[in-house]
């Protein structure tokens, strides 16, 4: 009976709210609802707990169409193509915003809709190009606006809770003027891509497919400190990737950034201890901290994050004295039903990229070590976030993402394969590509291990189900397909999709300081900042010669840069979803991409 009264009370609230808003009566252009987006079934592992509290706040993000995005994409590829006359002529912040702004018709329609629901301009948070607008609303208002019902959902395995719906609608007149609204149908679980060094027992690893040559066969490898086989330090990376003796030429003009999420805090005392051991000349330096969406960076030693410490210690240690920036983005679940005024969005990529796009000056290289299964992010929303990365690329910024730690699936250690099921209603086994690594406007970094380097079994790789194969990688990926049977893993992946990773770097045995002590850690979360550091040094070499930074990397890497990468031709396969995964072979492959960096060779090619 009590539940029935609650439902009746909620209904009366909504009815009263509708009467109070002008323009929502008979004849209103905003009354004829039609489904905009819907899930065929609730995502696996999520169950409803209860109705969402009526007063729980939601930060609705409304994406307006970008009618000229194709023009932006053309600019991006032209300024990133080493053979194009515009190579390196990156766009300004204002030029990018002009290319992605919505039409006046879309702006007017959405403004009228929001005004009809009682929102004043001062309550709207707009992106610089006005292609996104965010509003904070209680659940009862969001339900009225979107013709839906929000519930509290709980994830069986993790215990995470979210306020979401499986379907939402919009007035028919708005469908052409709104691409996407979230949080609605997105049940993604955003995670750092790190794994400890206590790797699984041998039976869970795929077999070595090729025995790497001995150190003696390569004079440079032979000179690498043997201790690097047991523990990777900054000096190990310098030796391995051929930066020993390089002195930055233009550090004051250069920059590198690392993103942090989920209360992963970068501890300055740990960084100092790391520097004291591995980069003594940097011991009195630190990084610039920037808070996004209320993100914090507590310096309590017990709040230090393994992931954040790993990222900043190696990205900034490898590139010292290049200035480093660490962003901490707020917005982490879990949602607590008793705290009904607490916001719960779990959309950190969009929060971060919106903030950065508003800034005039942005670090030239940015590394992110977080990801999630592509299918867990609604395609319309994933595309809009990916388009935002394209905007940064057009401005001359290199965006690098870890490729994931689940091999070809979302759980190489899951014998039941429950993490490799589609959420489209079919519930069939399928490889799980990692987003945002699958976005064609970012550079995805896979993992290697040992010296000489071989592929590591957990390195995420495969093909996107959302994005087709971009032209810049067509030749290399097509060549790889010639090396495998046509029926290999038939129907488990999209052979026409964007292949990832693009490149690779060491991903095991990184010596990181955490709570004042040294620990070993690994994952492609280590690979991304390592590769980003090499890119920052290449930018330094270019800036020292009066050139622009590299910007979006993929076109130049696939066209010329691959000759400056160490091709990884063997090692572990990357198993998952009941399969042994893919091989690392000569040329590009979906486990180590084009290979690991050789700074001297890349500098000769790219500067």
Instruction: Respond yes or no: is residue 201 known to be catalytic.
Output: no
Contact (Cβ atoms closer than 8 angstroms) between residue 353 and residue 392: yes
- Percent of the chain surpassing pLDDT 90: 71
Q: Is the dihedral of CA 249, 255, 259, 263 positive or negative?
A: positive
Whole-model pTM above 0.75?
Answer: yes
Q: Collect all residues with Cβ–Cβ distance below 8 Å to 121 and sequence separation of at least 6.
A: none
Query: Binding site membership for Ca(2+): which residues?
Result: 567-568, 587, 589
Bridge partners for 503 per DSSP: 445
Q: How far apart are CA 97 and CA 100, in angstroms?
A: 5
Give 505 or 572, the one with higher predicted confidence: 505
164 three-class SS = strand
214 band by pLDDT with thresholds 50, 70 and 90: confident
- Assign domain 192-606 one CATH number from 3.30.43.10, 3.40.50.200, 3.30.540.10, 3.40.50.300: 3.40.50.200
Q: How many CB atoms neighbour CB 122 within 10 A?
A: 6
- Residues at the binding site are 567-568, 587, 589
On whether the CB atoms of residues 590 and 488 are closer than 8 A, the answer is no
Q: How many CB atoms lie within 10 A of CB 199?
A: 16
Stretch 57-61: mean pLDDT? 90
- Tell whether the model's pLDDT for residue 75 goes beyond 50: yes
The predicted structure's pLDDT at residue 207: 63
Report the distance separating Cα 480 and Cα 403, nearest Å.
18
Q: Is the pLDDT of residue 592 over 80?
A: yes
pLDDT, tens only, 142-185? 999 999 999 999 888 878 888 999 999 999 999 999 999 999 99
> Are residues 241 and 596 in contact, defined by beta-carbon separation less than 8 angstroms?
yes
Q: Are 303 and 265 in contact (CB under 8 A)?
A: yes
More confident residue, 554 or 22: 554
Which token pair is 308?
């954040």
Closest CA to 553 of 86, 74, 79: 79
258 has a pLDDT exceeding 50? yes
Closest CA to 371 of 295, 298, 446: 446
Mean pLDDT across the chain: 88
* Low-confidence winner among 5-19, 155-169, 330-344, 426-440 (lowest mean pLDDT): 5-19
Any idea where the domains of the chain sit in the sequence? 2-66+101-187, 192-606
The token pair at 534 is 């090499």
How does DSSP assign 504-565, residue by residue?
Answer: EEE-S-EEEEETTEEEEEESHHHHHHHHHHHHHHHHHHHHHTTPPP--S-HHHHHHTGGGGE
Bridge partners of residue 518, in order along the sequence: 513
Asked whether the beta carbons of 404 and 591 are under 8 A apart, the reply is: no
Q: Is the pLDDT of residue 515 over 80?
A: yes
Task: Please confirm, yes or no, whether 525 is among the known catalytic residues.
Answer: yes
pLDDT of residue 193: 65
Q: How far apart are CA 381 and CA 181, in angstroms?
A: 8
Q: Which of 24-28, 412-416, 556-560 has the lowest mean pLDDT?
A: 24-28
Tokens of 223: 């000179």
Kind of pairing, strands 565-566 and 256-260? Answer: unpaired
For residue 334, say if its preceding peptide bond is cis, omega within 30 degrees of 0. Answer: yes
> Tell me, what's the pLDDT at 41?
85
Place of tokens 């003696």: 216
pLDDT over 70 percentage in the chain? 88
| 209, two tokens | 């497919």
Given a cut of 50, whether residue 19 has pLDDT beyond it is no
Tell whether the torsion through CA atoms of 308, 310, 311 and 314 is positive or negative: positive
pLDDT reported for residue 28? 57
* Helix pair angle (524-544, 306-319), 10° resolution: 30
353-375 CB burial, b ≥16 within 10 A, e <16? bbbbbeeeebbbbbbbbbbbbbb
Reported as a pLDDT band with limits 50, 70 and 90, residue 215 is confident
Distance CA 153, CA 151 (A): 6
Q: How confident is the model at residue 416 (pLDDT cuts 50, 70, 90)?
A: low
Mean pLDDT of 308-330: 96
Distance, CA of 252 to CA of 254 (rounded, Å): 6
Cis geometry, peptide bond prior to residue 60 (ω within 30 degrees of 0): no
CB 275 within 8 A of CB 318: no
**Predicted pLDDT at 217:** 76
* Cβ-proximal residues to 560 (8 Å cutoff; 6+ apart), any chain: 82, 605, 606
Q: Which residues neighbour 488 within 8 Å (Cβ) at sequence distance 6 or greater?
A: none
Q: In Å, how far are 57, 135, 216, 354, 375 from 331, measured between CA atoms?
A: 12, 15, 51, 14, 21
SS3 of residue 101 by DSSP: coil
Contact yes or no for 365/342 (Cβ under 8 A): no
Catalytic residue of the set 37, 143, 160, 311: 311
> Which pLDDT score is estimated for 212?
73
pLDDT at 195: 53
10: confidence class by pLDDT, cuts 50, 70, 90: very low
Catalytic residue among 59, 388, 398, 525: 525
State the pLDDT at residue 437.
97
- pLDDT average, residue stretch 262-267: 89
- Residue tagged active-site, from 131, 307, 372, 405: 307
Residue 200 has pLDDT above 80, yes or no: no
Edge-to-edge, what's the strand order for the sheet holding 46-51?
46-51, 151-155, 161-164
Instruction: Evaluate if residue 189 carries a pLDDT over 80.
Output: no
């Amino acid at each position: 009976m009590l539940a029935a009264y609650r439902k009746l009370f909620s209904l009366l609230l909504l009815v009263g709210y509708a009467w109070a808003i002008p323009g929502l009566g008979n004849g209103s252009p905003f009354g004829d609802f039609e489904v905009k987006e819907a899930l065929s079934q609730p995502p696996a592992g999520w169950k409803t707990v209860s109705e969402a509290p009526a007063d729980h706040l939601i930060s609705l993000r409304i994406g307006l169409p970008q009618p000229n995005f194709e023009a932006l994409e053309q600019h991006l590829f032209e300024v990133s193509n080493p053979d194009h006359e515009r190579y390196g002529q990156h766009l300004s912040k204002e030029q990018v915003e002009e290319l992605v702004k919505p039409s006046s018709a879309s702006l007017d329609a959405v403004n009228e809709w929001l005004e009809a629901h009682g929102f004043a301009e001062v309550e709207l948070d707009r992106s610089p190009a006005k292609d996104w607008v965010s509003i904070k609303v209680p659940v009862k208002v969001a339900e009225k606006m979107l013709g839906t019902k929000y519930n509290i959902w709980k994830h069986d395995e993790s215990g995470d809770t979210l306020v979401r719906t499986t379907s939402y609608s919009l007035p028919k007149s708005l469908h052409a003027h709104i691409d996407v609204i979230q949080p609605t149908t997105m049940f993604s679980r955003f995670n750092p891509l790190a794994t400890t060094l206590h790797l699984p027992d041998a039976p869970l690893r795929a077999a070595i497919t090729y025995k790497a040559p001995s150190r003696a066969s390569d004079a440079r490898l032979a000179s690498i400190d043997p201790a690097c086989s047991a523990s990777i330090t900054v000096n190990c990376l310098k030796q391995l990737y051929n930066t020993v003796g390089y002195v930055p030429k233009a550090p004051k003009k250069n920059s590198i950034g690392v993103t942090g999420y989920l209360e992963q805090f970068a501890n300055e005392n740990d960084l100092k201890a790391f520097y004291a051991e591995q980069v003594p000349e940097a011991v009195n330096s630190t990084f610039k901290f920037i808070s996004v969406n209320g993100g914090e960076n507590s310096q309590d030693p017990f709040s230090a994050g393994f992931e954040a410490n790993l990222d900043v210690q190696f990205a900034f240690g490898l590139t010292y004295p290049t200035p480093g920036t660490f962003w901490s983005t707020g917005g982490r679940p879990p949602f607590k039903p008793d705290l009904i005024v607490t916001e719960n969005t779990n959309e950190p990529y969009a929060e971060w990229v919106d903030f950065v796009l508003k800034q005039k000056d942005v670090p030239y290289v940015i590394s992110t070590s977080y990801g999630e299964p592509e299918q867990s992010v609604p395609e319309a929303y994933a595309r809009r976030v990916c388009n935002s990365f394209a905007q940064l690329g057009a401005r001359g910024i290199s965006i690098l993402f870890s490729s994931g730690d689940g091999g070809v699936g979302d759980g190489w250690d899951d014998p039941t394969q429950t993490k490799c099921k589609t959420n489209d209603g079919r519930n069939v086994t399928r490889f799980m590509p990692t987003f945002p690594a699958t976005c064609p406007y970012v550079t995805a970094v896979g993992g290697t291990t040992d010296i000489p380097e071989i592929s590591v079994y957990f390195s995420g790789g495969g093909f996107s189900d959302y994005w087709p194969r971009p032209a810049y990688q067509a030749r290399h990926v097509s060549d790889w397909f010639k090396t495998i049977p046509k029926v290999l893993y038939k129907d488990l992946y999209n052979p026409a999709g964007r292949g990832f990773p693009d490149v690779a770097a060491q991903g095991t045995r990184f010596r990181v300081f955490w709570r004042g002590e040294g620990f070993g850690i690994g994952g492609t979360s280590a690979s991304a900042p390592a590769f980003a550091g090499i890119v920052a040094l290449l930018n330094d070499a270019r800036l020292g010669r009066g050139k622009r930074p590299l910007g979006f990397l993929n076109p130049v890497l696939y066209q010329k840069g691959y000759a400056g990468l160490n091709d990884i031709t063997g090692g572990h396969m990357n198993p998952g979803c009941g399969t042994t995964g893919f091989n690392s072979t000569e040329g590009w492959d979906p486990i180590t991409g084009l290979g690991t960096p050789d700074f001297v060779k890349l500098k000769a090619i790219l500067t």
